[in-house]
Homo-oligomer: A and B are copies of this chain.
Amino acid sequence: MRQIEMCNRARWRRMRLAACGLAVLLAAGPAPAEDSSALLQLLEVLRDNGTIPAEAYEALRDAAVAEAATTDAGGAESTPAAEVATADAGGVESTPAEPSAADLPGVEFDLGSGGLEVATADGAFSFQLGGRIHFDSAWYFGNEDVFGDGTELRRMRLRWDGTVWSDWDYKGEVDFAGSDVSLKSTYIRYSGFDFANFVFGNFKENFSLNRLTSSNATTFMERAAASTVFSPGRNIGLGVSSYGKLDSLAGTGWTASLGVFSQGENDGGPDNEGWAVTGRATAAPPLGDRGFVHLGAALSQRGYKDIDMLQLRARPESHVTSTRLVDTGDLENLNYAFQYGVEGAIVYGPFSVQGEYLAAGYSRSGRNLDFDGGYVFGSWILTGESRSYDAKRGIFKSVVPKQNVGAGGYGAWELAVRYSALDLSDADVVGGEQEILTIGLNWYVNPNIRFMANYIDVLRVDRPGSEFDDVEPEIFQLRGQVNF
């Protein structure tokens, strides 16, 4: 045990790590005191010829054997699990076959997230590869002249990210699903200050809890319509973000972020790109000893300097179809937009509720426009797990099953119901109003594999004058996903 302690102490002094990391592991090996070992044989000879008395022999033999036993045990306790990055694999401890990380002299490896993670022991340099694959099938009932059943490769992403010289991180991610390759988060980040991180590149503007939560972790197959329509999504910009704890409020975590973004590309033409400023703040005070509350708000002021067109529209929370039941068409002569959202969630043991209200006002030549929407859902994890929370970013992470399938368990099962509303009609613009109810059943086989089933009932579509007025289908859809 002492060797392990020494190693922990020396851990961050890299030049020692090579010796130390190995020393722990080595202890498991050389077994100097087997029955047949020369030392034990010598002890026998010395006892037999009277050089050492029987009790000395026994004490020494026990010491030698104990040495071997200790080092064996030490080896067992020193398995590299201590090095496993458990951030995304919180379920690791729940299964006998842990993903393992090797603590090599100076370089550490981890396959525990399902992808590849390599890092120097001091963390100054690292490189990770991962991705996700989501496959969907959907069946549409009612209005068969509008929708067609089918399948879809919803997402097929490769991601690479790393750290150089301790303080600089980079990330690139590409999605190969769909007919075109699309670029996801791609940025450079400076994390050398304690008080905040600085990011520049193409990344999600910090707006809307549902929009910011990874598609690997969303409770339903598709995000609520309002959170996709009113969230700015990824744009090229510069952001600063911070997080911390308020000790005075017993464990309350908070986040705050602010960014300046370009409103998409101007294609090199004579028009200047519009600029936007977006900020978000969240707090997560504890709720008893089994839960917490999440509260947040976000604002975005967006200038449409020379680009005066925008289109707001949404699928019926099912992506296999490309039909949008609500759609404003092109909004013209815009000056600027002001968007805001308020968000809240309560997690208590296996139960949670979450909701958001989002709204956007557009200043234009002629009467201004105001649209809004929101959602509320409840989730119950039947197998007792709690939804995971990323306190540094103020968003949810994926549920991690206590018992993986194949490790004596049934994974985690989650039942959820969502009500979602969106109003895209105002003044002369009749984009339509929709209300949708979704019942979801999620099966988390292990931290990397999830199956989802959603039953969607489009409760109401009011879009007078459109072919989609009163088109209110029921939809059943399935997803199989791996993230690595």
Q: Verify A100–B106 contact, CB threshold 8 A.
A: yes
- Alpha-carbon separation in the docked complex, A14 to B18 (Å): 22
- Alpha-carbon separation in the docked complex, A152 to B99 (Å): 40
Residue of B26, B99, B446 near A29 (CB, 8 A) is: B26
- Alpha-carbon separation in the docked complex, A56 to B41 (Å): 10
Q: Verify A272–B115 contact, CB threshold 8 A.
A: no
A258-273 to B contact mask, C-beta < 8 Å, 1/0? 0000100111111111
Q: Verify A80–B106 contact, CB threshold 8 A.
A: yes
Q: Verify A72–B19 contact, CB threshold 8 A.
A: yes
A182-196 to B contact mask, C-beta < 8 Å, 1/0? 010011100010000
Chain B residues in 8 Å Cβ range of A31: 3, 23, 27
Q: Which residue of B lies closest to A320 (CB)?
A: B268
- Alpha-carbon separation in the docked complex, A64 to B16 (Å): 21
Q: For window 45-66 of chain A, which residues contact chain B by CB distance below 8 Å?
A: 45-46, 49, 51-52, 56, 59-61, 63-64
Interface size class of A (residues with CB under 8 A): 35 or more
Q: For window 368-401 of chain A, which residues contact chain B by CB distance below 8 Å?
A: none
Chain B residues in 8 Å Cβ range of A103: 18, 105
Least CB distance, A48 to chain B, in whole angstroms: 9
- Alpha-carbon separation in the docked complex, A120 to B97 (Å): 10
Q: Verify B127–A105 contact, CB threshold 8 A.
A: no
Q: For window 104-144 of chain A, which residues contact chain B by CB distance below 8 Å?
A: 104-107, 109, 111-112, 114-116, 118-122, 124-127, 129, 131, 133, 135, 137, 144
Q: Verify A30–B33 contact, CB threshold 8 A.
A: no
Q: Verify B449–A145 contact, CB threshold 8 A.
A: no
A67 interface contact, C-beta 8 A: yes
Q: Verify B32–A22 contact, CB threshold 8 A.
A: no
Residue of B22, B121, B164, B448 near A168 (CB, 8 A) is: B448
Least CB distance, A118 to chain B, in whole angstroms: 6
Chain B residues in 8 Å Cβ range of A147: 270
Residue of B17, B79, B97 near A165 (CB, 8 A) is: B97
Q: Verify A148–B269 contact, CB threshold 8 A.
A: yes
Residue of B133, B156, B273 near A148 (CB, 8 A) is: B273
A410 interface contact, C-beta 8 A: no
- Alpha-carbon separation in the docked complex, A44 to B158 (Å): 63
A226 interface contact, C-beta 8 A: no
- Alpha-carbon separation in the docked complex, A75 to B188 (Å): 36
Least CB distance, A34 to chain B, in whole angstroms: 9
A149 interface contact, C-beta 8 A: yes
Least CB distance, A189 to chain B, in whole angstroms: 10
Q: Which of A52, A96, A111 counts the most B-chain CB atoms under 10 A from its CB?
A: A111
Among all A-B residue pairs, the 4 with the closest Cβ atoms: A26-B29, A268-B322, A100-B106, A19-B28
Extra inter-chain contacts (18) besides given A19-B72, A33-B38, A45-B60, CB under 8 Å: A16-B76, A18-B28, A18-B76, A22-B25, A23-B31, A26-B29, A99-B120, A111-B125, A152-B236, A153-B183, A153-B201, A158-B172, A164-B449, A168-B448, A188-B480, A188-B482, A267-B322, A268-B321
Chain A residues in contact with chain B, CB under 8 A?
3, 14-20, 22-33, 36-39, 41-43, 45-46, 49, 51-52, 56, 59-61, 63-64, 67, 71-72, 75-76, 78-81, 95-107, 109, 111-112, 114-116, 118-122, 124-127, 129, 131, 133, 135, 137, 144-153, 156, 158, 160, 162, 164-168, 170, 172, 174, 176-177, 181, 183, 186-188, 192, 200-202, 236-237, 262, 265-273, 306, 320-323, 404, 406-407, 445-446, 448-449, 480-482, 484
24 contacts between A and B (CB under 8 A): A22-B28, A27-B31, A30-B30, A104-B109, A111-B120, A111-B162, A114-B162, A127-B484, A129-B160, A137-B262, A148-B268, A148-B271, A150-B272, A153-B183, A156-B183, A158-B158, A164-B484, A165-B407, A165-B445, A165-B446, A166-B406, A168-B448, A177-B183, A200-B480
